[in-house]
Amino acid sequence: MPTPISAEQRRQDRDVLLDAAESLFYERGVRAVGMDEIRSAAGLPLKRIYSLFATKEELVVAMLRRRDRRWRGSLADYVERFDDPRARVLAVFDWLGRWFAEPGFRGCAWINAHGELGSSSPAVLDEVRSHKRAFHDQIAAWVRETGSPAVEPVFLLAEGAVVTAGITGDPAPAEEARAAAEALLG
């Protein structure tokens, strides 16, 4: 009879699996990566993987959910270092520019997942929409603190910069969107 896996070991295995899946999915796409590749990268048996996530779709949703917490947390940590509300909004674009310039930047993980699976996976679509709502609300709070009514245009500038940088591989859209946001804020 196999030895039961402790809760701590299960958590560690889950983290290792999510790390491997995120890296592979972000680099190559969800559909291009098979479960055997994820197993190899994570160093876990398939049986363990399927005990953690019954389907690849569940793994994708969990990966996106965890990435969202980390991604938006990093953004908030950077932006909230600034006291001035206007500087906070502009810092969003500075943070985006740094992200766009990172090696391996492949655009928005949520847009990428939506493009691959959104029409065929209600669970992935829900997670993508949840992330986009949360990102919108995060930006909206910072813009409202400035007294500006430009919440939607600033959000669209941020989203457009992410998509454009992902497609072109050029971090310049962050600077261009920052300049436009600066003009909108007056």
Say yes or no to pLDDT of 3 above 70. Answer: no
Angle among Cα 26, 29, 34 to the nearest 5 degrees reads 110
**Domain locations in the chain?**
1-54, 62-185
Exposed, middle or buried, 121 (CB in 10 Å: 0-12/13-18/19+)?
buried
CATH number for the domain formed by residue range(s) 1-54: 1.10.10.60
Q: What is the CATH number of domain 62-185?
A: 1.10.357.10
pLDDT digits (tens, 9 = 90+) for 21-75: 999 999 999 999 999 999 999 999 999 999 999 999 999 999 999 999 999 999 9
Domains 1-54 and 62-185 fall in the same CATH topology: no
Confidence of residue 2 (pLDDT cuts 50, 70, 90): low
Predicted confidence (pLDDT) per residue in 94-133, tens digit:
999 999 999 999 999 999 999 999 889 999 999 999 999 9
pTM over 0.85: yes
Checking if the pLDDT of 166 tops 90, the result is yes
The confidence score (pLDDT) of residue 5 equals 81
Residue 112: the pLDDT is: 96
Assess contact for 127 and 62: CB atoms under 8 A: no
Q: How confident is the model at residue 81 (pLDDT cuts 50, 70, 90)?
A: very high
- Quickly list DSSP for 3-23: PPPPHHHHHHHHHHHHHHHHH
pLDDT value of residue 119: 82
